[in-house]
Structure 1
Amino acid sequence: MSQRHEPAGHARTRLMPLPEEHWDPRTRKLLAIAPRDPGSRVPNIFTTLVRHPDPYEQFLPFGGQLLRRGRLPDRLRELLILRTSCNTGARYEWGRHLPLAKAAGITDADIDRVTEGPEAPGWTDLERHLIQAADELNSGATLSDATWEALARHFGEAELIEIVMLVGQYHMVAFFLNSTGVRLDPGFDSTGCAERARSHG
């Protein structure tokens, strides 16, 4: 079983989003291409990360490649991200990805299973192996031979690379969110993961 971390959603905010009145020309240019929430609001993750503009500039296209232009089906990608959010206690990540997951066809029953782990009844064989992969990468930073071979029956080399990089990317994002205490944006709900994970952990 993977090691779950205490949820970080109520941790003290260590870095605040950069207020718009402090955006210099480069910051404005970088944030101009960031995804927007309703009302043209820039999500807190971006207005916080942009305090270090050099990695921010590289982060957005790489993250967009995995999120929007990757080879994994949307449903499978979001299952991996949600399980990684649970494993790292990243409430922000969980809350932001719930709407994306539901748009990809992930049901409330699926979301319950995400918090229960790979042994929860109802997964397909492929989904169970993906959840197991997220857990193995979280706990040991590698995939077991059995999990790799199971996934290789469904995916080619590029998809196998993408699975590992996707989970790694969202670990990195969780480390940033949890350590800086980024607050979830208005209109998003982070409840569910931490409470159910504790009950099943």
Structure 2
Amino acid sequence: MSERHELDAQTRPRLMPLPEEHWDARARKLLAVAPRDPGGRVPNIFTTLVRHPDLYEQFMPFGGQLLRRGRLPERLRELLILRTSRNTGARYEWGRHLPLAKAAGVTDADIDRITEGTEAHGWTDLEEHLMRAADELHSDARLSEATWEALAGYFDDAELIEIVMLVGQYHMVAFFLNTAGVELDPGFERMGFTEGGRNHA
């Protein structure tokens, strides 16, 4: 297969969102409480993942705990998610979290820095440590002693656990999105997303 055809194959969905006319009673019950986009549309991630209803049912409370009820400040949470999205090449994850990040105070300058990594000019010390944490978890599946100690100066034990679990959660989500080829929903954009995220700084 040529490189062009291989790229085309990678960008076509392997799993399509489950059409509403194919929702059985359980899928309808699960999706009835899913977050919805303006106009009432259920995002593609949920209508695709619901093809495995048992997993969907368990996944949603865990993801909701990290995203909606976590201990980390919203802005810092979104910085970690966007850096993880960039590291994993997860276009969908990036596009869906841009509005959340901006609502939490992430600026266009921050978004530019996220694509550059820890060496970008303008990070605070804490933000630089968080970017390094996302990168280390991505590349090494653990935090270095230096990064752990640095973060421990800002966060308590529960928050340190949450940082690791948050980055891990969005790796898992990226694996699903990238492999299934879930398409970004209408009305969302990938502003600032750059390819080659796995070659992070």
Contact 2:87 2:198 in 1 (8 A): no
The match for 1:132 is 132
Amino acid at match of 2:94: W
Note the C-alpha offset of 1:96: 0.1
Contact 1:116 1:197 in 2 (8 A): no
State the TM-score, normalized to the length of structure 1. Answer: 0.93
The equivalences for 1:1-201 within 5 A come to 11-195=11-195
CA distance in 2, matches of 1:84, 1:198: 10
Contact 1:80 1:131 in 2 (8 A): yes
Contact 1:112 1:196 in 2 (8 A): no
CA distance in 1, matches of 2:80, 2:24: 36
Amino acid at match of 2:37: D
RMSD: 2.0
Task: Show structure 1 runs of 5+ residues with no match.
Answer: 1-6
Note the C-alpha offset of 1:191: 3.5
Amino acid at match of 1:172: M
Residue-pair matches, total: 195
Note the C-alpha offset of 1:18: 0.1
Amino acid at match of 1:53: P
CA distance in 2, matches of 1:127, 1:185: 29
Task: Show structure 2 runs of 5+ residues with no match.
Answer: 1-6
Identity of aligned residues (%): 79
In the TM superposition, what whole-angstrom CA distance separates every residue of 1:7-65 from its partner, at most 9, and x where no partner exists? 99x61210000000000000000001100001100000000000000010011110000
Amino acid at match of 1:104: A
CA distance in 2, matches of 1:137, 1:198: 12
Contact 2:87 2:199 in 1 (8 A): no
State the TM-score, normalized to the length of structure 2. Answer: 0.93
The match for 2:3 is none
Note the C-alpha offset of 1:119: 1.1
User: SS where residue 40 of structure 1 aligns?
Assistant: coil
Residues 104 and 196 of structure 1, relative CA distance in 2, 3 Å threshold: farther
CA distance in 1, matches of 2:168, 2:61: 16
CA distance in 1, matches of 2:76, 2:186: 27
In the TM superposition, what whole-angstrom CA distance separates every residue of 1:82-138 from its partner, at most 9, and x where no partner exists? 000000000000000000000000100000000000111100000000000000000
Note the C-alpha offset of 1:196: 8.8
Runs of 4+ with deviation above 4 angstroms: 195-201
User: SS where residue 155 of structure 1 aligns?
Assistant: coil
